[in-house]
Amino acid sequence: MEDLKAYIESGVLELYVLGDLTEGEKLEVETMLDKHPQLRNEVTEIEKSLESYSQASAVNPPEDLRSKILGDLETSDSRSETPVIPLNQPKNIRFYKYGFAASVALLILSLIALINMRSQLKESQNQITALQLSNRQYSSRVNFVEKQLDEANQSLSIFHKPDEYKIVSLKGTPKAPSARMMVAFNPEKAEVMIDLASVEMPANDNSHQYQLWALVDGKPVDLGVFDADRDSVGMIKMKTLKNAQAFAVTLEPRGGSINPTMEMMMAMGEI
């Protein structure tokens, strides 16, 4: 007990509290404190006194320092394991970071989709124009074929009525040995028609035309002019005529002549 009292009175405990001891001395004091609760009480008393002293001599720090310190503690907190309140903040930041990344990704995806759609739309439009073009081609082709079919049907209907129509086949003269054509003649209706599909004559030029004549009682009668065109089909009606013994074709100046030019007789056929 005497020892402890002397120890207390040596003032070493005060220096211990003031942090004014070397590491070795500190350890020594701590061992003593662990052994003697009485010393521990003494230390606590010293601590309380100094605490009150400093509290009594306290100086209020500047107002803004508090928030500054709290902010500082937050940033320096990464090292400490101690749980602190403002931990939601990084979570928030992370949320915004992910949110931002997601929106950027979405934007890029949308742009890609938009560009894709645009090129597809363009392609479709091109296809539509191409289809429209070929459609038009087909319809005109169909029109053309229909017309040809009509004409062919017309000629066929004539050939199918041998009672009403006499088919006169004209053959080439020495002037045009390969010339050939057919004329349909209906004496009752006074109809004379040329089957254009059967016309096989040398093509006439722009200043000349073929002229069909009928021989009626030895005299030539004008039946009209026509062009020899390989692609034309169907029947063309010529002038009316009730009676004839033969038909002949001459090459005449465009528009025809009043009298046939006998040197230019190309084909002829008797009924």
Partner 1 sequence: MYSASLFGVIVRIVQNEELAADLLQESFVKIWNSFDSYDEKKGRIFTWMVNVARNLSVDKLRSKDFRNNSKNQDIDNSVISIDEQRSTTLNPEVLGVKEMVDNLKPDAKAVLDLIYFKGYTHVEAAEELGIPLGTVKTRIRLAIISLRKLFN
Using CA atoms, how far apart are residues 15 and 21, in angstroms rounded to an integer?
6
- Whether the Cβ atoms of residue 87 and residue 74 lie closer than 8 Å to each other: no
Residue 47 binds to partner 1 (criterion: CB under 8 A): yes
Q: What's the burial of 7, exposed, middle or buried (CB within 10 Å: 0-12/13-18/19+)?
A: middle
By CB under 8 A, the count of residues binding partner 1 is 44
* Complex with partner 1: residue 54 or 207, whichever CB lies closer: 54
| Residue 264 DSSP label | G
Over the range 31-70, which residues count as b (16 or more CB within 10 Å of their CB) and which as e? ebbeebeebeebbeebeeeeeeeeeeeeeeeeeeeeeeee
Residue 53 binds to partner 1 (criterion: CB under 8 A): yes
- Residue ranges of E strands in the chain: 166-172, 180-186, 191-200, 208-216, 219-226, 235-237, 246-253, 265-270
Q: What is the 3-state secondary structure (H, E, C) of 29-48?
A: HHHHHHHCHHHHHHHHHHHH
Pick from 5, 18, 96, 137 the residue near partner 1 by CB under 8 A.
Answer: 18
* Complex with partner 1: residue 48 or 94, whichever CB lies closer: 48
Residue 206 binds to partner 1 (criterion: CB under 8 A): no
Taking the complex as a whole, how short is the minimal distance between the CB of residue 88 and partner 1, in angstroms?
A: 19
Taking the complex as a whole, how short is the minimal distance between the CB of residue 9 and partner 1, in angstroms?
A: 7
Residue 4 binds to partner 1 (criterion: CB under 8 A): no
* Complex with partner 1: residue 62 or 218, whichever CB lies closer: 62
* Complex with partner 1: residue 90 or 255, whichever CB lies closer: 90
Taking the complex as a whole, how short is the minimal distance between the CB of residue 97 and partner 1, in angstroms?
A: 27
Pick from 1, 11, 92, 217 the residue near partner 1 by CB under 8 A.
Answer: 11
Show contacts with partner 1 in window 74-93 (CB under 8 A): 76-77, 79-82
* Complex with partner 1: residue 52 or 129, whichever CB lies closer: 52
> Is 242 in a helix, a strand, or coil?
coil
Residue 157's alpha-carbon distances to 22, 39, 79, 261, in angstroms, are: 137, 143, 109, 34
Instruction: Specify the stretch interacting with partner 1 by CB under 8 A; choose among 72-80, 113-121, 128-136, 139-147.
Output: 72-80
Residue 19 binds to partner 1 (criterion: CB under 8 A): yes
